[in-house]
Amino acid sequence: MRKKNYPILVGLLLALSTTAPAAEKAQAFTRADLAAAATLRERALTDATAYALVESLTTEVGPRPAGSPGDQAAVAWAQREMQRLGFANVGTVDAFVPHWVRGEAEFSVLAPFPQSMPTLALGGSVGTGSEGVEADGVMVKDLDALAALPPGAVKDKIVFFSNRMERTRDGSGYGKAVAVRAGGPSAAAALGAAAIVIRSIGTSDSRFPHTGATRYTNAAPRIPALAISNPDADALVRQFESGKPVRLKLRSSSRDLPPVRSASVVGEVPGTDRAGEIVILGAHLDSWDPGVGAIDDGAGVAIMMGVAKLIRELDVKPKRTVRVVLFANEEFGTSGSLAYLAANEAEAPRHVLGFEADFGAGPVWRLASRVNPAQLPVVEQIYHALAPFKLVRGDNEAHGGADLEGLSKLGMPIIEPGLDGTKYFDVHHTANDTLAQVDPQALRQSVAAFAVSVWLGAQYSGTWERVTTEKAPRR
Amino acid sequence: MRKKNYPILVGLLLALSTTAPAAEKAQAFTRADLAAAATLRERALTDATAYALVESLTTEVGPRPAGSPGDQAAVAWAQREMQRLGFANVGTVDAFVPHWVRGEAEFSVLAPFPQSMPTLALGGSVGTGSEGVEADGVMVKDLDALAALPPGAVKDKIVFFSNRMERTRDGSGYGKAVAVRAGGPSAAAALGAAAIVIRSIGTSDSRFPHTGATRYTNAAPRIPALAISNPDADALVRQFESGKPVRLKLRSSSRDLPPVRSASVVGEVPGTDRAGEIVILGAHLDSWDPGVGAIDDGAGVAIMMGVAKLIRELDVKPKRTVRVVLFANEEFGTSGSLAYLAANEAEAPRHVLGFEADFGAGPVWRLASRVNPAQLPVVEQIYHALAPFKLVRGDNEAHGGADLEGLSKLGMPIIEPGLDGTKYFDVHHTANDTLAQVDPQALRQSVAAFAVSVWLGAQYSGTWERVTTEKAPRR
């Protein structure tokens, strides 16, 4: 997890914390700010708001993929709940979202050992027509292995990508494995393949195929793309390893419909003397369709709404405006956050600090950031305010998340209370993303850690300086 | 777990083991018998045969519900593998089996909060026709709660049974909860219900509905019966608890086809001076269709074949004949074991001792029995031979399993190395019954514990006396 420059940073911070006078350290936050942070922390640990929100969203709305009736219902739900919680300036920012319809999918091994396996089409995959696609199979580990095959090796074949994702706490295993989902179809099609099947980008041994967006390039035909679960992928590997020819068949009725209008939902806890500065709290309202979107991203929605609710209930008002934005369509191209950025182009510099929760239901285990180095001591003080949670001190190369990427590229600082992703990819983008996967205690801890961080971010007495790419490279 | 008479038994056994002369204890088994038991135990702990068998069965045959092509393929597989392992007298015992076809099933909540939920038809359920069944829902906990409703309460309604099964090591939670699956449809139909939906009889919070046989009586119309997973049942409970009317819709294309011929598969390790006495090792070859039948009952098949293989490879031959019987159709009325009993009616008394493995892939955690009290000291000696496994000493009221029930009722003693069922019902009868659920080490331990028990059962120098119901009541 630690990057090369981390020991240097630590040294710098230690030096600061031991040599800087106490008065200088205290300048960032008043005693009242720190007392309010402690109040937030304590209240959050017993507050049922976030869990009730994710329960309500998953029970009353359920799946809400871009363009679906659930997507529309979620927008209405979010406005209603923000108003109920007393947020100010509740409104929407329109966005056009793709409207891909999953339909049904089937995958079978015809030879050597006939078996059907549960499957899901990758998001955006073209369908096969009712007759399906039947062809010999070719197994490769990943995109590199595909590229290394001799010419013609996958012509008219169905390519099976067998590589398994690694389990990690910070989700880095996902980044390493997911390329095949986005790029596999076009890479295989460019070599003449008829279709692809991937091992799900997930860590569970339960029989849930995953889904997630694929991206066709214009340089190759669009071919169907399905995913199968880890245990089925293992079984398919055994079929290939029998040495006998493997014959596969797949069918999918996926199809694209015209894009439709959806919306991101915005609500605020208005600031006072620095009300023009916005601390943005991002999560996404859409979900994939096989599950009910509890951990992705009902939990993030609940954490951010829970944080703003607790801040609103403090006796003191925040200096800066705390703005919750529940983005439309994170999953299928982030058109919601792109539309938000376009609609707020002039106001982008007013977004002085960002938080994003899109990695499950916690607990928070680390505090990372991507701030101007001048504000690293401020992050350090926030870290101290989080001491009861015994977090790991992360580096200054945090990514934030997909929905704040646009603002982040414009130099907005990010503070990242890191959600523990050890089990996240057991469930992510599968039918098993249900409320049962949300641990209420971990969720409350996450709200507490975010609440303290957001509050202090909003109260910081100085200026959140912009981040330049040179100084804080993206991981 | 302990029954009322257990302390008395323990006292008796302790008395025997401390007061009986060593020579008397040793009469049951020779030193060579015990040495061979130790050899079996050691070899089993490193033997890969059982895992390879369940891997082969699940990969090459996969789902094998009664009457399906997989069922036929499993019969061929079992004969081939028994011959490959060098078993004697490999053959089949024909059985007619039901041929129910699952088709597709859908379940949706239409109001108050529209959601679709993954579902499975209960085994044997009638279909709904293509139009499905739509009706108001009535939630009850269980059959008692249904019976307590006022007259007319479920007329033309869809009844949802919400009771949740309890997790236990010995599977006793299943027995308490499963009545609704077998009896729910007819009980609700007798009160005029249009269909039922049950919470799966399982312990997992993953989103896998379970299946399993239901039993219609002739006293009520046959109505469709589906199951939903625990997280979906929780969500449906929340919909009911909203206080708003709940409207449900289900559809199933299940149908019955005429029964077909299948077979149980038999193979032996022939005995020597008591070859006419049979120690029967039962497991079942069929499985439910959503998974690949790894824990139910591929593991049992593998354990019993692995045990017989290890006994066959000993330098000494068993006194009694060890007969492995892989029964057809345990899941859907045990017609395989009934046909075996009918075909072996005259030979039933020659079945002097029985073992059954139909409760997953282990490990073995307990040794129970259902023997004539005269042989309890023998069981005690077997328990001592299993000392390295630190098993719990169970009572003398073991059930064995469904396939040995007929022979057991005729007085055949049972020795039961108890497989740990703590996680069994997370997977049982769901799509998640895959090879990934089999822990190779637990499976080897199970083979070892069964092998020692079976071997000593076959070598016992005395007579396995019959069991009378009065002395050993069924649990």
Give the pLDDT confidence score for residue A27 in this predicted structure. Answer: 83
Residue range B265-294: mean pLDDT, rounded? 98
Residue range A197-222: mean pLDDT, rounded? 97
d(CA B241, nearest CA chain A) in Å: 11
d(CA A436, nearest CA chain B) in Å: 6
Whether residue A1 is predicted with pLDDT greater than 70 in this model: the reply is: no
Torsion over CA: B18, B22, B24, B26 (sign): positive
Interface residue A235 vs chain B (CB under 8 A): yes
Cα separation values, A274 from A96, A352, A380, A465, Å: 33, 11, 22, 15
Cβ contacts of B206 on chain A, cutoff 8 Å? 206, 208, 432, 436
Give the pLDDT confidence score for residue A220 in this predicted structure. Answer: 96
Q: Cβ separation of A435 and B231 shorter than 8 Å?
A: yes
> Considering only residues 176 to 205 of chain A, which have any Cβ-Cβ distance to chain B shorter than 8 Å?
205
Whether residue B54 is predicted with pLDDT greater than 50 in this model: the reply is: yes
d(CA B291, nearest CA chain A) in Å: 9
Of B59, B231, B435, the CB nearest to A113: B59
Interface residue A241 vs chain B (CB under 8 A): no
Instruction: Supply the pTM of this predicted model.
Output: 0.92
> Considering only residues 140 to 159 of chain A, which have any Cβ-Cβ distance to chain B shorter than 8 Å?
none
**What is the end-to-end Cα distance of chain B in Å, rounded?**
11
pLDDT digits (tens, 9 = 90+) for B84-104: 999 999 999 999 999 999 999
Cβ contacts of B113 on chain A, cutoff 8 Å? 59-62
SS3 state at A105? strand
Whether residue A155 is predicted with pLDDT greater than 50 in this model: the reply is: yes
Interface residue A244 vs chain B (CB under 8 A): no
pLDDT interval class at B10 (50, 70, 90): very low
pLDDT above 70 coverage of chain A, percent? 93
Q: Cβ separation of B115 and A62 shorter than 8 Å?
A: yes
Torsion over CA: A215, A218, A220, A221 (sign): positive
d(CA A60, nearest CA chain B) in Å: 5
Other C-beta atoms closer than 10 Å to the C-beta of B94 total 13
Measured CA to CA, the distance from residue A29 to residue A198 in angstroms comes to 51
Residue A141 DSSP code: S
Give the pLDDT confidence score for residue A21 in this predicted structure. Answer: 43
Phi/psi for A296 (5° steps) reads -135, 90
Which of B228, B434, B435, B438 to probe by mutation at the A interface, max A CB count within 10 Å? B434
Q: Cβ separation of A55 and B238 shorter than 8 Å?
A: yes
Give the pLDDT confidence score for residue A470 in this predicted structure. Answer: 52
- In DSSP notation, A119-136 reads EEEPBT-----TT-EEEE
Whether residue B69 is predicted with pLDDT greater than 80 in this model: the reply is: yes
Measured CA to CA, the distance from residue A405 to residue A397 in angstroms comes to 13
The tokens for A42 are: 């304590």
> Considering only residues 409 to 468 of chain B, which have any Cβ-Cβ distance to chain A shorter than 8 Å?
431-432, 434-437
Whether residue B13 is predicted with pLDDT greater than 80 in this model: the reply is: no
Whether residue B470 is predicted with pLDDT greater than 70 in this model: the reply is: no
Consecutive H or E run containing A202: none
Could you list the beta-strand ranges (E) of B26-174. Answer: 88-101, 105-111, 115-117, 119-121, 133-140, 158-161
Q: Are B96 and B116 in contact (CB under 8 A)?
A: no
Cβ contacts of A291 on chain B, cutoff 8 Å? 207
**Those residues with Cβ within 8 angstroms of residue B305's Cβ, 6 or more apart along the chain or in another chain:** B49, B50, B53, B81, B82, B85, B324, B326
DSSP β-bridge partners for residue B368: B416
d(CA B57, nearest CA chain A) in Å: 11
Residue A137 DSSP code: E
Q: Would you call the peptide bond into B185 cis, given omega within 30 degrees of 0 as the criterion?
A: no
Measured CA to CA, the distance from residue B151 to residue B193 in angstroms comes to 12
Q: Cβ separation of B63 and A115 shorter than 8 Å?
A: yes
Interface residue A271 vs chain B (CB under 8 A): no
Whether residue B15 is predicted with pLDDT greater than 90 in this model: the reply is: no
Cβ contacts of B65 on chain A, cutoff 8 Å? none
d(CA B217, nearest CA chain A) in Å: 34
Measured CA to CA, the distance from residue B113 to residue B316 in angstroms comes to 68
pLDDT interval class at B3 (50, 70, 90): very low
Task: Identify residue B316 by its one-letter amino acid code.
Answer: V
pLDDT digits (tens, 9 = 90+) for A5-46: 333 333 344 434 444 444 444 489 999 999 999 999 999 999
**What is the end-to-end Cα distance of chain A in Å, rounded?**
10
Q: Cβ separation of A235 and B58 shorter than 8 Å?
A: yes
Q: Cβ separation of B235 and A437 shorter than 8 Å?
A: no
pLDDT digits (tens, 9 = 90+) for B320-334: 999 999 999 999 999
Task: Identify residue B118 by its one-letter amino acid code.
Answer: P
Give the pLDDT confidence score for residue A10 in this predicted structure. Answer: 38
Of B207, B239, B437, the CB nearest to A434: B207
Of A62, A114, A432, the CB nearest to B207: A432
**Under the phi-then-psi rule, with left for phi > 0, alpha for psi from -120 to 50, and beta for the rest, what region is B103?**
left
Give the pLDDT confidence score for residue A469 in this predicted structure. Answer: 67
Measured CA to CA, the distance from residue B260 to residue A350 in angstroms comes to 74
Whether residue B20 is predicted with pLDDT greater than 60 in this model: the reply is: no
- In DSSP notation, B270-317 reads --STEEEEEEEEEEE----SSS--IIIIIHHHHHHHHHHHHHHTSSS-
Whether residue A3 is predicted with pLDDT greater than 60 in this model: the reply is: no
The alpha carbon of residue A431 and the mean position of all alpha carbons in its chain are separated, in whole angstroms, by 17
Interface residue A60 vs chain B (CB under 8 A): yes
The tokens for B117 are: 């939920």
**Those residues with Cβ within 8 angstroms of residue A152's Cβ, 6 or more apart along the chain or in another chain:** A192
Cβ contacts of B434 on chain A, cutoff 8 Å? 205, 207, 231-232, 235
Whether residue A74 is predicted with pLDDT greater than 70 in this model: the reply is: yes
Give the pLDDT confidence score for residue A297 in this predicted structure. Answer: 98
Consecutive H or E run containing B412: none
Other C-beta atoms closer than 10 Å to the C-beta of A221 total 13
Interface residue A358 vs chain B (CB under 8 A): no
Torsion (CA) B328, B332, B335, B340 in degrees, nearest 10: 40
Cβ contacts of B291 on chain A, cutoff 8 Å? 207
pLDDT above 70 coverage of chain B, percent? 93
Give the pLDDT confidence score for residue B5 in this predicted structure. Answer: 35
Of A114, A206, A238, the CB nearest to B432: A206
Helix, strand, coil shares, percent, chain B, to 5: 35, 25, 40
Cβ contacts of A434 on chain B, cutoff 8 Å? 205, 207, 231-232, 235
Whether residue B473 is predicted with pLDDT greater than 70 in this model: the reply is: no
Interface residue B107 vs chain A (CB under 8 A): no
DSSP β-bridge partners for residue A28: none
pLDDT interval class at A433 (50, 70, 90): very high
d(CA B113, nearest CA chain A) in Å: 5
Interface residue B51 vs chain A (CB under 8 A): no
Give the pLDDT confidence score for residue A2 in this predicted structure. Answer: 28
Of A55, A232, A431, the CB nearest to B118: A431
Interface residue B361 vs chain A (CB under 8 A): no
Residue range A137-142: mean pLDDT, rounded? 98
Residue closest to A286 by CA, chosen among A123, A52, A157, A88: A123
d(CA A117, nearest CA chain B) in Å: 9
The tokens for B473 are: 């009541």
DSSP β-bridge partners for residue B118: none
Q: Cβ separation of B55 and A238 shorter than 8 Å?
A: yes
Number of A–B residue contacts, CB under 8 Å: 77
Cβ contacts of B112 on chain A, cutoff 8 Å? 60
Whether residue B281 is predicted with pLDDT greater than 50 in this model: the reply is: yes
pLDDT above 90 coverage of chain B, percent? 92
Measured CA to CA, the distance from residue B66 to residue B101 in angstroms comes to 10
CA angle B45, B48, B53 (to 5 degrees): 130
Q: How buried is B64 (Cβ within 10 angstroms: 0-12 exposed, 13-18 middle, 19+ buried)? A: buried
Cα separation values, A188 from A108, A214, B110, Å: 20, 13, 42
Measured CA to CA, the distance from residue A275 to residue A338 in angstroms comes to 24
Give the pLDDT confidence score for residue A54 in this predicted structure. Answer: 98
Cα separation values, A56 from A88, A292, B219, B238, Å: 21, 11, 42, 9
- In DSSP notation, A180-249 reads HHHHHHHHHHHTT-SEEEEE-S----SS-----B----TTS----EEEE-HHHHHHHHHHHHT-S--EEE
Measured CA to CA, the distance from residue B273 to residue B275 in angstroms comes to 6
CA angle B249, B250, B254 (to 5 degrees): 165
Cα separation values, A2 from A398, A399, A413, A453, Å: 11, 14, 20, 21
Average model confidence (pLDDT) for chain B? 93
d(CA A235, nearest CA chain B) in Å: 6
pLDDT interval class at B400 (50, 70, 90): confident
d(CA B120, nearest CA chain A) in Å: 14
Whether residue B306 is predicted with pLDDT greater than 60 in this model: the reply is: yes
The tokens for A221 are: 């035909």
d(CA A247, nearest CA chain B) in Å: 14
Whether residue A454 is predicted with pLDDT greater than 80 in this model: the reply is: yes
d(CA B99, nearest CA chain A) in Å: 19
Residue A316 DSSP code: S
Residue with tokens 């088709």: B103
- Give the ipTM: 0.91
Q: Cβ separation of A434 and B231 shorter than 8 Å?
A: yes
CA atoms within 13 A on the CB side of A14: 7
Give the pLDDT confidence score for residue A400 in this predicted structure. Answer: 81
Interface residue A103 vs chain B (CB under 8 A): no
Name the closest residue on chain A to residue B426, using Cα atoms: A206
Q: Cβ separation of B436 and A231 shorter than 8 Å?
A: yes
